[in-house]
Chain A
């Protein structure tokens, strides 16, 4: 199951990067997001999976598509030269090699066993909410201040009138 979802996620991510039409690129990004949420389900994190679909695949992507359609971005002419494609390919290979050697180095046994919390009700809305309002109360509040500051900032930078 993991390999199917992971494969589709990587494939659609590749399509997204290589596709020249912005709308189709955005669509394949949605597929990637959906696959990611599938992974969260495998990891027992149901709430995160649902949020992933609602927030990313839903809200943010709709916003993306709106912007793309509003701006009416034209398809760019011309292709990348073979030289450049080769260079990019080489880079991807290099990074991939680093990651593979890292995984080899790490091996299976150095990863800790599953954390205890995963036993009862891990990943459900109730469990997440409970933790959020008890153990992680402070970060939760800080995050709200963070969002307030971000909203204020966005309003300032995007305000129409320059004064």
Chain B
């Protein structure tokens, strides 16, 4: 019997291997270090966080050393190109920042360290696989790896009821969405006889692309990915899950996995189904408008700040979908740039939320931010910076990202869409500035109750580092965007 082994190019998956190894190391270290001091499960586990961070840093370094160019390996199941490289950087950045803002939170909440970090790392591996998969099977497995880790992480604070609710809801709805995705993949396979994206696009372009099975499969894929990126009408899970999950995990979920879903979404549709563009563009146009509008309008009336940011994250998915509709090189660059900017600003905002929320996440309403600027001017200023960026006010990364996306839309002739997007962006300013107004323009509560409601905020070193990185990223990308835009544009898909 002769077995032909396909080219195994381990170099193309080095970063994934490194992250996996570190995940296992963290897990084992946790298992074999004594940590049974009475009631002290939360003590002395900082090093695991730092080890995970080293792993992420090392993987980032490896991504930088991988040489450019497009390269398929593992029998066409894996692709290494600028696009996947850029997305890997986004994921690693998101994970790194998440670990930094988690360190103190994990200690305060007294939740188990080892599994927490290793699950975050596993989720990161899943995301990277989604970014680098060139075959529906690889992409699907990456998605599952990411999702399963996230289901667990969402319910990590087991003694909090909302966290349990969040985990269960996410799990049930997520499995449902996975079913849709899998159905879509199965139908595509049935129609084309291959799961390879290149193969699919080749098959469609040379034969029947009006095949109804193909269209059905494509629509189901839109549903499945639409769920993962939290676009309306598949967004129902988002507010509850974001509100209930531990804050660092919420930050993580809104940055990395969303970017990963977009990475896979764009890869599948631009690389696998470009011939069907006429069909899916209309579909996604509707999704984009609905997502932006519903997200922003509902966010207006939210009082819980995590819930507000959940709706805002839905709205941001809508902006990215606008870039998706434009479907030109500028559009793809826009997706990349925006996801990078969003990672910085959203994790930054959540960092402040964690600090203000304090132990047990007690202060998560907009009212709790009243007068923050008088007591903690630095925290308030940082928060305002991230909020301005989320609202898209120059000179921040958010502004450049939106500018870029809307100009891409105009360039490909979707002027109506761009106008709707800009209007939405204006609407969103209201609820972001509401927090800023509360922080700066309202007097802190009277001295009697004030002492109780706003104790001193504790910034850990790791948190400060994370905030500095995020703030630097937001400003740098906003003021000197050209380098990043060039990088993003270089990384567009070759289609």
Q: Which A residues are within 8 Å of any B CB, using their own CB?
A: 102, 105-106, 110-112, 115, 130, 133-139, 142-143, 145-146, 148-150, 152-157, 162-163
Contacts and interface: CB of A to CB of B under 8 A. Distances in A.
Contacts of B8: 137
Contacts of A155: 115
B149 A149 contact: yes
24 contacts: A106-B212, A111-B191, A111-B213, A135-B6, A137-B6, A138-B74, A138-B77, A138-B78, A139-B137, A139-B141, A142-B138, A142-B142, A143-B141, A145-B122, A150-B148, A152-B115, A152-B152, A153-B148, A153-B151, A154-B152, A155-B115, A156-B112, A157-B155, A163-B42
Contacts of A145: 20, 122, 125, 145
A163 B36 CA distance: 11
B135 to A, nearest CB: 8
| Residue among A112, A137, A146, A155 with the highest chain B CB neighbour number at 10 A | A146
Nearest to A137: B74
Nearest to A116: B193
Given A110-B212, A146-B145, A152-B115, A136 B137 contact: yes
Contacts, number: 102
A135 B212 contact: no
Given A148-B24, A156-B156, A163-B42, 9 more contacts: A110-B211, A111-B191, A115-B193, A134-B5, A138-B138, A139-B141, A149-B149, A156-B112, A157-B158
Nearest to B118: A152
A139 B41 contact: no
B213 A149 contact: no
Contacts of B126: 146, 149
A8 B388 CA distance: 61
A111 B190 contact: yes
A142 B145 contact: yes
A153 B145 CA distance: 11
Interface string B306-344: 000000000000000000000000000000000000000
Contact of A110 (B111, B112, B213): B213
B138 A152 contact: no
A153 B119 contact: yes
Contacts of A110: 191, 208, 211-213
A156 B159 contact: no
A138 B112 CA distance: 31
B152 A156 contact: yes
Contacts of A146: 126, 141, 144-145, 148
Contact of B212 (A102, A148, A152): A102
B192 interface: yes
A39 B286 CA distance: 40
Interface in B349-400: none
Contact of A134 (B4, B24, B123): B4
A149 B145 contact: yes
B232 interface: no
B216 interface: yes
Contacts of A163: 41-42, 110-112
A139 B77 contact: yes
B224 to A, nearest CB: 17
